[in-house]
Chain A
Amino acid sequence: MRQSQLQYEEDRMAEPSSLAEAAAALGMVPNASPVFLRPSTGEVVGVPTPAEPNSNVLGGRP
């Protein structure tokens, strides 16, 4: 019983909109231009671009 209650609460806390809210509260923003690092050569693949502030898509249930 206790386990299923905790599972229920954990499922909801781990859900993307809860995480997004928590991340936004910490001032995090999504990275719109991902780049990749090739470990073998140390080469950066892609165009590194700083993420812009206030570019979050905020969660919340409709």
Chain B
Amino acid sequence: MTTATRLTRRQIVTRRRLRIGLALVVFLFGIFGIRLFQIQGFDTSAYAAMADDAGTRSTVVPADRGEILDRNGVPLATSMSGMTLTADPSLTAENAPQIARILSETLGDDIDYFEAIEQLRTPNSRFVYLVKDLPAWSADAALKALQEADLNGVFAEQKSLRSYPGGSVAANLLGHLDASASGVGGLEQQYDALLKGTDGSATYTVSPSGQRIPLADSDVTEMVPGSDVITTIDRDLQWYADQRLAEAVQMSSADWGLAITMDVKTCQVLQMSQVPTFDPDAGSGMTPENTVSRAYQTVYEPGSVLKTVTMAALADQGKIAPDTPIVVPSGMNVDGFPIGDYWEHGVLNLTAAGVIAKSSNLGTIVAAQQMDDETMHSYFRKFGFGQSSGTGLPGESQGILLDASTWTRANHATISFGQGISVTAMQVVRAIGAIANGGSMCEPTVVSGFQSPDGVTSSEPAAEMTQVVSQDAARAVTTMMEAVTADDGTAPAAQIPGYRVAGKTGTAWRVDPESGTYIRGQNTVSFIGFAPADAPRFVTYVVLDKPYAAAGGGSTAAPVFHDVMTMALQRFGVVPTGAPSPTIAQEW
């Protein structure tokens, strides 16, 4: 046995180590191999997509929301491209003061210098919002200025911005947009789907630092803009009525006021004002009391303006004419309720025209006793009370007209002069519009048509007419209503020189919404009228809620009617007929 053939103890150990090492290396490479096979053989598409993602960026291209136009094509609501500025604080922290200075120089009041510095230095963050909803041109100017100064890390996201050039003009009809750009209230809500359009998208290649690579591949899906909604509103008349109403609400210390003007031939609403209101352009005054659309959402007791409906019902049955003599008692007690007139009087001999001209509750009750509950109820239904006005606007109230079977004697008496019945202003405009239009009623409309992005215009069908009372009955009530604006009526302030004007005042007791009872000394005052009375074209309704205690419809609402109606007649070139106002006997 030689030492040459025998391995030393040391050699054995070394060889064993080598073998273990080799096995480890083979095992390790085996794992690499399997992993490599997995990546290249099985998961290829997922990794390719991840690689693509790292080098591309996708953005939503927001669709232009359609415009809301007035009857002459003037935009009441429009859209423009906007931008939201964002920043990557890991890139901006170092130069925060310089960046903030350039931003505040170019954007002015839209950004706060010190707040911007804070944002740009946000620790452990790679994304912050700097300024939201800027007009595209001002955001663009800011980005250009930053680029010139060689400052990186501020980015822009595209956004479509809603703009209301007239501020609060027609705000309660238009509605507004919420944070997710969906319509809230009014036309923005009613036609949301139509106005919205379809968003597009754009994907483009970026460098590792996030810069877009020019001329590299990009994938663009075009956005489809929304359609325009063409309203029946006349912007200038709307603005004028807004101003006049605001003055009247302020002067009379009213809680709120509204004014509506409608073309009685077509039932197109020309103007729908409300005070107080909100400004969707500035986003100010957005409280529920301001954003509610009172013309069709708020219900209230209308009071004496509804005496005209009672008279129309009686005239249609041949039971009354303007000169019908009525013995008006000095007071009445119905089911234990004492009912009187707003002035103290003994027994009066008034004509039906006199009852309307002087607005006598007692005279109206006496006249209305000629018809039973069912008949009177059916006429009020025919005139549209207790049913939505047909504008289709969101959140419309129907008002309350109790079923005839539940009427008490007191109901019959008070409903005849507009108490114990709840209405919306739009319902009153529709009903009195029918009296103006020879007894033919249509549903008020605020939209005349639509315009698709390719310029195709479609029109809404013309309003359908329903004859609710005979033409003779409508004419008889018109004559009674002309007595209201006469020198000895309740609203001489509604006279418009050269024109014949028919109208009716209202001073209704206000109902406490909590107790459901009337509140002494609180009224809803109003005036509704149409002109020219001998060839009616427009009806204008003015309501002031809770003015100072002594305020009446003739003294506070009628002057607003006068100004708005005058402006409407002037703007639409309605020539006076030249016929003199009739003298109507009020007593017999």
Q: Which residues on A are within 8 Å of B, measured CB to CB?
A: 1-2, 4-5, 7-8, 11-12, 14-17, 20, 30-36, 45-47, 49, 57-59, 61-62
Tally of chain B residues near chain A (CB < 8 A): 41
Residues of A within 8 A of B140 (CB): 1
Docked-complex contact B135 and A5, CB < 8 angstroms: yes
- Give chain B nearest CB distance to A35 CB in angstroms: 7
Among B163, B166, B569, residue most surrounded by chain A Cβ atoms (within 10 Å): B166
Docked-complex contact A8 and B497, CB < 8 angstroms: no
Q: Out of B136, B137, B246, B576, which one reaches A62, CB within 8 Å?
A: B246
Proximity bits, B531-566, A CB within 8 Å = 1, else 0: 000000000000000000000000000000001001
Q: Out of A8, A17, A31, A61, which one reaches B570, CB within 8 Å?
A: A31
Residues of B within 8 A of A57 (CB): 240, 243-244, 247, 563
Docked-complex contact B279 and A61, CB < 8 angstroms: yes
Q: Out of B165, B276, B566, B578, which one reaches A33, CB within 8 Å?
A: B566
Docked-complex contact B166 and A1, CB < 8 angstroms: no
Residues of A within 8 A of B496 (CB): 33
Residues of B within 8 A of A30 (CB): 567
Among A8, A16, A35, residue most surrounded by chain B Cβ atoms (within 10 Å): A16
- In the bound complex, how far is the Cα of B576 from the Cα of A49, in angstroms? 15
Chain A to chain B: the 10 pairs with minimum beta-carbon distance, closest first:
A46-B498, A57-B243, A16-B239, A11-B165, A34-B570, A47-B497, A5-B137, A61-B167, A47-B498, A36-B575
Docked-complex contact A8 and B566, CB < 8 angstroms: no
**Is B573 in contact with chain A by the CB < 8 A criterion?**
yes
Report how many A-B pairs have Cβ atoms within 8 Å. Answer: 83
Near A by CB (< 8 A), chain B positions 566-586 give: 566-567, 569-570, 573, 575-576, 578
Q: Out of B136, B276, B575, which one reaches A4, CB within 8 Å?
A: B136
Residues of B within 8 A of A35 (CB): 498
Residues of B within 8 A of A16 (CB): 166, 169, 235-236, 239-240
| Nearest B residue to A1, CB-CB | B137
- In the bound complex, how far is the Cα of B245 from the Cα of A62, in angstroms? 13
Among the listed stretches B73-81, B96-104, B191-199, B501-509, which one makes contact with chain A, having 4 or more residues with CB under 8 Å of it? B73-81
Docked-complex contact B137 and A4, CB < 8 angstroms: yes
Residues of B within 8 A of A5 (CB): 135, 137
Near A by CB (< 8 A), chain B positions 75-115 give: 75, 78, 80-81
Docked-complex contact B240 and A46, CB < 8 angstroms: no
- Give chain A nearest CB distance to B236 CB in angstroms: 5
**Is B286 in contact with chain A by the CB < 8 A criterion?**
no
